[in-house]
Structure 1
Amino acid sequence: MINFRSTIFRALADPSRLKILDFLRPGEKCACDIVKAVGFAQPTVSRHLKVLIDCGILRRRREGNKMLYTNKFQDTRDNGSCGFKVH
């Protein structure tokens, strides 16, 4: 459980990933929209999205030729805790 938590907190500690999560707050977006909104190169955004997916913060689904991403923790109060209590 500690390793899981440390993985989550490492993912959330990066300001670039927080910027992506903030952009996804209103709902599902495609990768191309995320790239435009955050102003990073596509490979950089892809790397950050993979980290957020691997630790369980984001969901990804394919629609046609687009990959759509959504934050599993839409309520921003949960972004810091990611589903577990922080005391």
Structure 2
Amino acid sequence: MLFALSDPERLAIARQLVDGPLDMAECHLSNPNVPKSTKSHLMKVLRTSGVVRNEANGRARRLSLRREDLDAKFPGLLDAVLSAET
């Protein structure tokens, strides 16, 4: 989890999901010129590390933080990482 959130772009995506789930297309990166393949890779790292849940929503993908699972495993860590200054 810490590795996944150590990248500024992945951390920014996780922070966007704090208020609730978003379609993958709604998640934006700080650099709009990043290729789709890079954004896909960022999402894959977040998913495989267990930080986000990626579910089908029609033809789109819906992302949400796995807050309950992460808080059960590492109490308070997610909030500390997401609220830290960058």
TM-score (norm 2): 0.70
Does residue 21 of structure 2 align to residue 22 of structure 1?
Answer: no
Q: Give me the whole-angstrom Cα distance separating, in 2, the residues matched to 1:41 and 1:47.
A: 10
Identity %: 25
- The equivalent of 2:84 in structure 1 is none
Task: Name the aligned partner's letter for residue 63 of structure 2.
Answer: Y
TM-score (norm 1): 0.69
- The equivalent of 1:31 in structure 2 is 24
SS in 1 for 2:67: coil
| Residue 73 (structure 1) shift | 1.7
Where does structure 2 lack aligned partners over 5 or more consecutive residues?
A: 82-86
Runs of 4+ in 1 over 6 A off after TM superposition: none
Task: Name the aligned partner's letter for residue 22 of structure 1.
Answer: R
- The equivalent of 2:44 in structure 1 is 50
Where does structure 1 lack aligned partners over 5 or more consecutive residues?
A: 1-7, 83-87
For the aligned residue pairs, the C-alpha RMSD in angstroms reads 2.4
Q: Give me the whole-angstrom Cα distance separating, in 2, the residues matched to 1:71 and 1:78.
A: 13
